[in-house]
Amino acid sequence: MPHALRQVLALLACAAVLAAIVYQINHYAAPWALSFSVAGLFVTLPALRLPLRTGLACALLAGLWLDAASPLPFGRQALLLGLAFCFVHRIRDRLPRTETVVLVVVALFVNLALFVALAFLDLGALPDPAAGGLRLLADLLVSQLLTVLLGPWYFALQTASLRLVGAPPAQIVSRYA
Amino acid sequence: MRRFDQARPFLTLGLVLLAWMIVPTVIKRFARLSFYEFQAPLDVAASYGRELQGFWADRTRSNAELLSAARDLQRLNASYELRLQEDARLRAEITRLESLLRLPSYPEFRPEPARVVRRDFNVWWQRLVVRKGANHNIRVGSPVIYVGGLVGRVVEVHATTSVIELISSPGVRLAAVFEGDDRPVSFQGGINAPMRPPEAVIEFVPLDVFATPSAPRRLVTSGIGGVFPPGLHVGEVYQLEPSTDGLFKSGRARLDPRLGRISEVTILVPLDPAFHVPSATP
């Protein structure tokens, strides 16, 4: 099996595991009217560590995976994750991208950007935008907290999965070392 | 050259987007269903896991507790027996009046209990995934109820699971009536503030109807439209104010907080195959 395909499949499996965990967390958080979203985690490692085509394929497939379980038009989250991927990929050479802390910070920024993008697209559809805004703020706060908690584990899982399938990301010589 | 390198991710994404736009809808639909059906076993397995957890937790209960629960159930069963007899009498009376007054009868439903696999509540949508689908002849548009009244309606049916859109979802609108009043009002869910029970917006309320937090009015389904049977509890209206046009009132309704903890529902599957239930699938 080609190296790139192994990378895509391994990262898609990781995305499926993460999505399943977040779905379960949301199931238990429903009585408190809170929901978690960690979309930034799906994009970060592919954007910072993988080649363009492989990474973009990972981001788009993860987006389609999320789209399939949501009532949004199929492909919308994939497009948003794809855009986020492109922005992060464009600036990645300026970041010390082997550091887990950097990966977590990038995931937090991507999460924030996706929240804002979705709010701009759909806030008018809510019957009470003020209550909706409050809920979005609360969701954003708990989502960022969950991203910080799950991020290091998830990036370790992705790295270990890539090693397991014999397709680790290329070594980067850090200019910050 | 450097500028092209910087724009390369966006150009690649643009090409993918272009290819996506010319892909036939049938392929997109197939892809969506495939992705969904790949995920469904994960959710179903998690729900079976929760039930197993509950089973072993119940095994730790003492015999005295079980005997007490059995006694409570006996009492409950006796009261249900009485209710069933009363129900049969009322049904016979309705049938007699329908034939006497030549009224069209309400559509018949088959109740199908289903366990909740996953609650997916956020500010944009409020949905439940249940553990019954096409394998139990669930139909899109079927109304869904629970012990607290109306839950919502089925919006997607898959091989072994179905997706229900809750009445607390911003996309749900229905015609409701105040209990004891037959004038329809508009109900729209979608106010889901954090750490609070869901609320809904009520519109087109006649001016002579009053509701306050200390004297809320019960709202039930009207039966108009033919999707939801009449008389199902929807919520409690606790605030009504004249709308800007002065012709009607609008206000807020509190929904049952149990909607957020719901673990079992009953899907009312229409018995008549010609019964039209409008599809709400996006």
C-alpha–C-alpha distance, residues B132 and B142, integer Å: 13
Q: How confident is the model at residue A176 (pLDDT cuts 50, 70, 90)?
A: low
B8 in A contact zone (CB under 8 Å): yes
The enclosing H or E element of B153 equals strand B149-157
User: Does B278 map to a domain?
Assistant: no
Residues 6 or more apart whose CB falls under 8 angstroms from that of B158 comprise B33, B36, B37, B40, B133, B134
Preferred mutation among A28, A128, A134, A139 to probe B, highest tally of B CBs within 10 A: A128
Same domain, B55 and B111: no
Q: What are B254's strand-pairing partners?
A: B199, B236
- Contact yes or no for B39 and A20 at CB 8 A: yes
* Domain carrying residue B17: 2-59
Walk along chain B (282 residues) in steps of 10 and give the mean pLDDT of each run. Answer: 75 91 92 93 93 92 92 95 94 89 79 94 93 93 92 94 94 91 91 89 92 93 86 93 89 92 93 63 40
Same domain, B267 and B138: yes
On whether the CB atoms of residues B36 and A68 are closer than 8 A, the answer is yes
- pLDDT above 90: residue A168: no
User: Does B94 map to a domain?
Assistant: no
Total count of domains within chain B = 2
C-alpha–C-alpha distance, residues A46 and A85, integer Å: 8
Report the gap between the CA of B47 and the closest CA in chain A (Å). 9
C-alpha–C-alpha distance, residues B232 and B250, integer Å: 21
pLDDT, tens digit, for every residue of B76-98? 999 999 999 999 999 899 889 98
Q: What are B119's strand-pairing partners?
A: B128
- Contact yes or no for B170 and A127 at CB 8 A: yes
Residue B282 pLDDT: 38
- Contact yes or no for A86 and B17 at CB 8 A: no
What's the token pair of residue A15? Answer: 């995305």
Same domain, B34 and B127: no
Residues 6 or more apart whose CB falls under 8 angstroms from that of B190 comprise A126, A127, A128, A132, B168, B169, B170, B171, B172, B200, B201
Which sequence spans correspond to the domains of chain A?
3-164
Residues 6 or more apart whose CB falls under 8 angstroms from that of B89 comprise none
User: Does B72 map to a domain?
Assistant: no
On whether the CB atoms of residues B198 and B187 are closer than 8 A, the answer is no
- DSSP, residue by residue, B106-119: PPPEEEEEEEEEEE
What's the token pair of residue A92? Answer: 């990645």
Same domain, B24 and B146: no
Residue B134 carries which DSSP code?
A: G
pLDDT, tens digit, for every residue of B173-213? 999 999 989 899 999 988 888 888 999 999 999 999 999 99
Residue B280 pLDDT: 46
User: Does B75 map to a domain?
Assistant: no
C-alpha–C-alpha distance, residues B155 and A12, integer Å: 27
B9 in A contact zone (CB under 8 Å): yes
User: Does B70 map to a domain?
Assistant: no
- Bridge pairing between strands B143-146 and B264-270: antiparallel
B121 in A contact zone (CB under 8 Å): yes
Sign of CA dihedral B75, B77, B82, B87: positive
Kindly state the average pLDDT of the residues A27-40: 94
User: Does B162 map to a domain?
Assistant: yes
Q: What is the CATH number of the domain that holds B143?
A: 2.40.10.340
C-alpha–C-alpha distance, residues A99 and B234, integer Å: 52
On whether the CB atoms of residues A35 and A26 are closer than 8 A, the answer is yes
Same domain, B16 and B110: no
The enclosing H or E element of A158 equals helix A129-164
C-alpha–C-alpha distance, residues B160 and A176, integer Å: 52
- Contact yes or no for B191 and A131 at CB 8 A: yes
Nearest one of A61, A64, A139, A55 to A89, comparing CA atoms: A55
Residue B271 pLDDT: 84
- DSSP, residue by residue, B173-195: EEEEEETT---EEEEEEEE--TT
B24 in A contact zone (CB under 8 Å): no
How many beta-carbon pairs below 8 A join chains A and B? 145
Q: Which residues of A touch B36 (CB under 8 A)?
A: 68-69
Residue B276 pLDDT: 60
A37 in B contact zone (CB under 8 Å): yes
Report the gap between the CA of B257 and the closest CA in chain A (Å). 8
ipTM at complex level: 0.89
Q: How far is CA A87 from CA A42, A47, B100, in A?
A: 14, 9, 71
Same domain, B115 and B252: yes
Residue A118 pLDDT: 82
Q: How confident is the model at residue A139 (pLDDT cuts 50, 70, 90)?
A: very high
- Contact yes or no for B282 and A37 at CB 8 A: no
B10 in A contact zone (CB under 8 Å): yes
C-alpha–C-alpha distance, residues A135 and A35, integer Å: 9
List phi, psi (to 5°) of B245.
Answer: -80, -10
Same domain, B122 and B53: no
Same domain, B127 and B259: yes
Residue B153 pLDDT: 93
pLDDT, tens digit, for every residue of A79-132? 999 999 999 999 988 888 888 999 999 999 999 999 888 888 777 778 888 888
Share of chain B above pLDDT 70, in %: 95
pTM, to two decimals: 0.89
Same domain, B24 and B135: no
Same domain, B256 and B123: yes
Nearest one of B282, B34, B133, B49 to A70, comparing CA atoms: B282
What's the token pair of residue B84? Answer: 């069933």
Report the gap between the CA of A20 and the closest CA in chain B (Å). 7
Q: Which residues of A touch B190 (CB under 8 A)?
A: 126-128, 132
- Contact yes or no for B190 and A127 at CB 8 A: yes
What's the token pair of residue A148? Answer: 């910080």
User: Does B42 map to a domain?
Assistant: yes
Same domain, B143 and B230: yes
Residue B243 pLDDT: 87
